[in-house]
Amino acid sequence: MQLNEKQLADGFRSGDAGSFEALYREFGPRLYRFCLRLSGDVSCAEDLTQEVFLAAFRGADRFEARSSIATWLYRIALYRWRDARDKSRITTVSLLDSEASLSADPAQIGLKKLELDAAMAALPDGLRSAFLLVKAEGFLFREAAEILGVPESTLKSRVALATRKLQTHLSKDESGVPVPRSGCEIGEIP
């Protein structure tokens, strides 16, 4: 569906009944997946996605359609993730030990998938976010650079470096040893 983005943002801001639904339908699952790969934790990804929509609602007045809604929302997601990470609320972890069963049949889950998750968790944050935006989310280099707030050349070098690191990791690490997880610390009961 082709969205009229300004209308959508205006509708969201003014309380139009369909706007939140359209916005969530278009971007909710995508943002959730992006946050899931950033944080490596299902609960953190949900919290981050929620925070993105809250922040978007608060800042909808300032959205002027100079950039797309997608880049606007993804930029918010990145800021919220960095903020949470800097406050030590989130440590990126491998999805290896959270989303699939450790004891389940590896053939069913896909060893490669688990290795890739571990390799992603091992990437530095800047490389991971650049790689995710371009390779997983399908943004153009220009858009991804805008989201990250870096020059396009920097973005490209990060994507290339991340790709090489992932390939190296995957070719070396056949064991898929999980990275120790700490996850999201929000609301834990001891």
Nearer to another protein, 4 or 168 (CB): 168
The phi and psi torsions of 125 (rounded to 5 degrees) equal -55, -45
Instruction: Please report whether residue 140 would count as binding another protein according to CB under 8 A.
Output: no
Instruction: Please report whether residue 4 would count as binding another protein according to CB under 8 A.
Output: no
Element (H, E) at 163: helix 152-172
Instruction: Please report whether residue 146 would count as binding another protein according to CB under 8 A.
Output: no
Which tokens belong to 167? 């390939």
Q: Which of 4, 6, 83, 101 binds another protein (CB under 8 A)?
A: 101
Q: How far apart are CA 170 and CA 157, in angstroms?
A: 20
Q: How far apart are CA 147 and CA 73, in angstroms?
A: 9
Q: Nearest distance from residue 68's CB to another protein, in Å?
A: 20
Given a contact cutoff of 8 angstroms between Cβ atoms, the answer to whether 73 and 52 are in contact is yes
Q: Which stretch binds another protein (CB under 8 A): 51-59, 63-71, 72-80, 122-130?
A: 51-59
Q: Which of 9, 70, 76, 116 binds another protein (CB under 8 A)?
A: 116
Q: Which stretch binds another protein (CB under 8 A): 33-41, 66-74, 75-83, 122-130?
A: 33-41
Which tokens belong to 13? 């801001």
Instruction: Please report whether residue 72 would count as binding another protein according to CB under 8 A.
Output: no
Q: How far apart are CA 125 and CA 75, in angstroms?
A: 14
Given a contact cutoff of 8 angstroms between Cβ atoms, the answer to whether 165 and 126 are in contact is no
Q: Which of 20, 22, 67, 82 binds another protein (CB under 8 A)?
A: 20
57: exposed, middle or buried (Cβ count in 10 Å: 0-12, 13-18, 19+): middle
Instruction: Please report whether residue 166 would count as binding another protein according to CB under 8 A.
Output: yes
Instruction: Please report whether residue 152 would count as binding another protein according to CB under 8 A.
Output: no
Which tokens belong to 150? 């870096």
Residues of this chain that interact with another protein (CB under 8 A) are: 14-17, 20-21, 24, 28-29, 32-33, 36-37, 42-43, 45-46, 49-50, 53-54, 57-58, 97-104, 110, 112-113, 116, 135-136, 141, 156-157, 159-160, 163-164, 166-167, 170-171, 181, 183-184, 186-190
